[in-house]
């Protein structure tokens, strides 16, 4: 197909939007990609090949969906906006390896869909240009459901991508970093200029690749409890661990008890959350867990 005909060009995108008198819904965070080179780059980084299955979230008018259909064996895309269904049916009609599901990804049973739509041994990857306002809930849902996917490669707000891929002792490192890196290896593979979107967003974008870990890097007794402790340590970034944990446990423990517990595991209470490695958070959560179970 001649590249001028691809959906991801300014001309084709405008043509499709005009044909359907489509207006962007701010509440759905719709920004369509108009550069097919960027899309092919995303697909290459995601490791998609002609035997892969691909899952997309929010296909819009089908710019990324089309490129996935060209490079992958099968594509399943979730679209919440009913107005886009007839458009997708039209723009993607020449491809026979695409399934569009009209459903909110946050409500969807993705595991069941994978069993039904893909072959048993097929490698499946999630590739998406995610709406910025709902990136974190979508990613956390996909990760916590332990889906049989190899990786998740998403275009998201640069600042959020930096937080997800951050290292300890950096400004971006926080509870979101720990939550994402508990389940995956996270890396920012590419930054993307605002000019490749229609309409142009107000923020810069990055492509983040999350590769599923076989197992979490740390052992914890209770995942929810572990994440709760991590969040408590970052509740107020400028406060020390001792102060943040004292506020969190004010009903259960005195400041002295918290200081003793920190001392017993060799973590200085005047450190801040951002200086702790994931291993240190796991040790900390484990001690509090044992103490509360006594």
Binding-site positions: 31, 33, 58, 79, 104, 129
**What residues have CB less than 8 Å from 258, skipping those under 6 apart?**
242, 245, 246, 249, 269
Is residue 126 within 8 Å of 166, Cβ to Cβ?
no
The alpha carbon torsion through 175, 210, 146, 216 (nearest 10 deg) reads -60
**What residues have CB less than 8 Å from 278, skipping those under 6 apart?**
178, 181, 182, 217, 218
Three-state DSSP at 262 gives helix
Strand pairing report for 74-79 and 53-57: parallel
d(CA 254, CA 259): 9
Task: Show binding-site residues for S-adenosyl-L-methionine.
Answer: 31, 33, 58, 79, 104, 129
d(CA 262, CA 241): 9
Tokens found for residue 70 = 């060209």
From first CA to last CA, the distance across the chain in angstroms is 67
Q: 10 Å Cβ neighbour count for 294?
A: 4
Helices (H), the chain: 10-19, 36-45, 63-71, 85-91, 110-117, 135-144, 158-164, 175-183, 223-233, 241-248, 255-264, 278-293
């Amino acid at each position: 197909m001649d590249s001028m005909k691809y959906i991801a060009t300014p001309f084709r995108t405008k043509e499709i939007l005009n044909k359907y008198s489509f207006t962007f819904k701010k509440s759905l965070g719709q920004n369509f990609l108009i550069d097919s080179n960027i899309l092919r780059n995303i697909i290459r980084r995601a490791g998609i090949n002609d035997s892969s299955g691909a899952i997309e979230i929010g296909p819009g008018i089908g710019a990324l969906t089309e490129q996935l259909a060209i490079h992958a064996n099968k594509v399943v895309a979730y679209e919440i906006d009913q107005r886009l269904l007839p458009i997708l049916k039209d723009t993607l009609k020449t491809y026979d390896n695409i399934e569009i599901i009209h459903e909110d990804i946050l409500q969807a049973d993705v595991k069941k869909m994978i069993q039904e739509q893909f072959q048993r041994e097929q490698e499946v990857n999630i590739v998406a240009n995610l709406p910025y306002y709902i990136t974190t809930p979508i990613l956390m849902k996909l990760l916590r459901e332990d889906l049989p996917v190899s990786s998740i490669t998403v275009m998201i707000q640069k600042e959020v991508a930096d937080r997800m891929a951050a290292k300890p002792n950096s400004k971006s490192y926080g509870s979101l970093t720990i939550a994402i890196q508990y389940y995956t290896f996270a890396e920012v593979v590419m930054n993307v200029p605002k000019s490749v979107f229609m309409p142009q967003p107000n923020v810069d974008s990055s492509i983040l690749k999350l590769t599923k870990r076989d197992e979490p890097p740390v052992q914890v007794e209770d995942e929810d409890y572990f994440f709760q402790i991590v969040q408590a340590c970052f509740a107020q970034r400028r406060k020390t661990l001792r102060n943040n944990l004292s506020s969190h446990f004010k009903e259960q423990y005195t400041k002295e008890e918290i200081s003793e517990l920190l001392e017993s595991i060799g973590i200085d209470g005047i450190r801040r959350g951002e200086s702790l490695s994931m291993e240190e958070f796991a040790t900390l959560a484990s001690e509090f867990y044992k103490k509360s179970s006594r």
